[in-house]
Structure 1
Amino acid sequence: MGRKRAFPWRWRIVAAVLLLLAVAIAWLWWEAQHWVPSREEFPTQGVLVGARDGEVDFRTLAAIGANFAYIEASAGESGRDARLSANLRALEEAPLPYGAVHAYDPCIPAERQAANFVTIVPRDAAMLPPVIALDALAEDCATPVSEAAVESELTTFLNQVESHTGQRAILLLSSRFEDRYAIASRIERNLWLEQGWLEPDYAGRPWTLWTANPQLWTEVTDQPLRWVVAQP
């Protein structure tokens, strides 16, 4: 009976390299899921939450380092986040400043969207500035909307929301919306930009808020949270 061939040394090296690579990828994945920017560089950090995050314990969020919270509130003409009321009640008892976010729809007239926002978001001077999330494009509208109309209607919407809240809004600007409409150079408002793990520069001017980790795992919920930092 012939001798069993030894496993060739070169394949042992390949197997070892593959194992090390798998370990490195797993470590990088874990780091990415738990990474937040340095507190020395960005001392003020917070979170964006909505119905997708389920029930959130805002007191625990504050305990692990959140300094503020934004909650998704309204969308378009009649959209309302399913957890808005519950989140507002919870935040009233938590030591966190908070504000509301409206998802803007360029297909719907500004007045109807503003009516939705002012109906469900309380007029409270203690709240943080309102945030207008800009991502949907007018190209997807059933009725064509010109680029000029997008800017005009958005300006009208901002005026009405700011009249209600008494504060200038912040634009939560996606890269695709900015690429299409160049709103950052046309409407002078503070910006909230999104780009995981790397500081964004797609707006052409400094940001005020940055979604630094869009899927941060914490002990607060069973879902990853969107972690946000503020410029110092």
Structure 2
Amino acid sequence: MARKRKRPWRLRALAALLLVALAAGGWLWWQSRTWRPERTDYPVQGALIGERDGVVDFGALDAAGADFVYLEASAGDNGRDAQFSRNLEALAGKDMPYGAVHEYDPCVPAERQSANFVTIVPRDARMLPPVIALGKLPSACGNPAIEAGLESELTTFINQVENHTGQPVVLLVPSAFEAKYGISRRIERNLWLTRDWFQPDYAGRPWTLWTANAHLHSALAAEPLRWVVVQP
């Protein structure tokens, strides 16, 4: 009989633990949807926008607290963001600073990629420094020579982009790319790092831009916004 009396208490304790776990999970879920760094810590904040976000109202984005925006523009030697031209036009009459992002493809020669970039991204001194996103690993190309020549080929592309824009590039380096190739220690450019909620430190030197929440839900875009802050 004593054992039977203990079972309801165990069930209640288990139910209480489940409720706590559900509450914690719900809080984390809500945080992932709404969290942005404090303005007192990071006064300048903005967003990364591309075709995945659909048609964005930049006036509303400004009102929501974005001080700047980066636009996905080109990728590899022939990729072009379907919303880039429209986004440029929408920003033309606004005071919001903006820049362009190129998704670098290590499998494609630098000259072909720069030809794509300079065709779609205007030469405009008012734009923010261009960004080169290093998302694709050279190991995916299946050619050891490409991995061995990564720094040389990427440097060529950087020089061509900087000649076009007249500004030093920013390297957007995910943690997986940095862990495999240590590119932040091999090429001296400002860094854009990514890590939800917590400051990234995987590059071994200070970052300039940080994607602090890649899942910020907002009525401003069809998909969660990628929220970015500037190092104060």
Question: Which range, TM-score by smaller chain?
Answer: over 0.9
> Is there any run of 5+ residues in structure 2 with no aligned partner, and where?
none
Residue type matched to 2:56 in 1?
V
Moved more, 81-90 or 63-72: 81-90
Deviations 1:18-39 (A, max 9, x none): 2232122112210221000111
Structure 1, gaps ≥5 residues long: none
Structure 1 match to 2:214: 214
The equivalent residue for 2:195 is 195
**After the TM superposition, which of the residue ranges 216-225 and 166-175 deviates more from structure 2?**
216-225
What is the distance in 1 between the residues matched to 2:100 and 2:83?
A: 12
Counterpart in the other structure of 1:74:
74
Deviation string for 1:58-91 (max 9, x for gaps)? 1111101100000100000110011111111111
Give the secondary-structure state (helix, strand or coil) at the position aligned to 1:205.
coil
Q: Provide the rounded CA distance (Å) in 1 between the counterparts of 2:72 and 2:47.
A: 11
* Structure-2 change in CA distance of 1:22 and 1:16 (3 Å): same
C-alpha separation in 2, matches of 1:207 and 1:68: 17
Over 3 Å counting, the alpha-carbon distance change for 1:180 and 1:9 in structure 2 is closer
What is the letter of the counterpart of residue 40 of structure 1? T
Query: 2:74·2:116 contact (CA, 8 Å) conserved in 1?
Result: yes
SS in 2 for 1:56: coil
User: SS of the counterpart of 2:36?
Assistant: coil
Q: Secondary structure at the match of 1:24?
A: helix
Single out whichever of 13-22 and 86-95 deviates more from structure 2: 13-22
Q: Distance in 1 between matches of 2:170 and 2:30?
A: 32
Please name the residue that 1:34 is paired with.
Answer: 34
The letter of the residue matching 2:175 is: S
Indicate how the Cα distance of structure 1 residues 33 and 156 shifts in structure 2: closer, same or farther if over 3 A, else same.
same
Asked if residue 97 in structure 1 is aligned to residue 101 in structure 2, the reply is: no
Query: Which residue of 1 is the match for residue 10 of structure 2?
Result: 10
CA distance in 2, matches of 1:175, 1:11: 43
Contact preservation (8 Å) 2:47, 2:70: yes
More deviation in 74-83 or 132-141?
A: 132-141
Pairing 1:59–2:59 present: yes
Note the aligned Cα RMSD (angstroms).
1.5
Partners of 2:79 and 2:27 lie apart in 1 by 40
| Alpha-carbon contact 2:139-2:147 (below 8 Å) kept | no
Number of residues paired by the alignment? 227
CA contact (8 A) 1:100 1:121 kept: yes
Q: Which amino acid aligns with 1:161?
A: V
Provide the secondary structure at the position in 1 that maps to 2:145.
coil
Q: Distance in 1 between matches of 2:178 and 2:200?
A: 12
Task: Give the CA deviation at 1:55.
Answer: 1.1
In the alignment, residue 187 of structure 2 is paired with which amino acid?
I
| Secondary structure in 1 matching 2:27 | helix
Taking the aligned partners of 2:23 and 2:95, their CA distance within structure 1 comes to: 40
Give, in whole Å, the separation in 2 of the partners of 1:111 and 1:191: 23
C-alpha separation in 1, matches of 2:146 and 2:106: 10
5 Å-filtered alignment, 1:57-206, equals 57-206=57-206
Instruction: Return structure 1 stretches of 4+ with deviation > 6 angstroms.
Output: none
Percent of counterpart pairs with the same letter? 62
State the AA in 2 paired with 1:118. V
- TM-score normalised by L of structure 1: 0.93
The residue identity in structure 1 corresponding to 2:167 is: Q
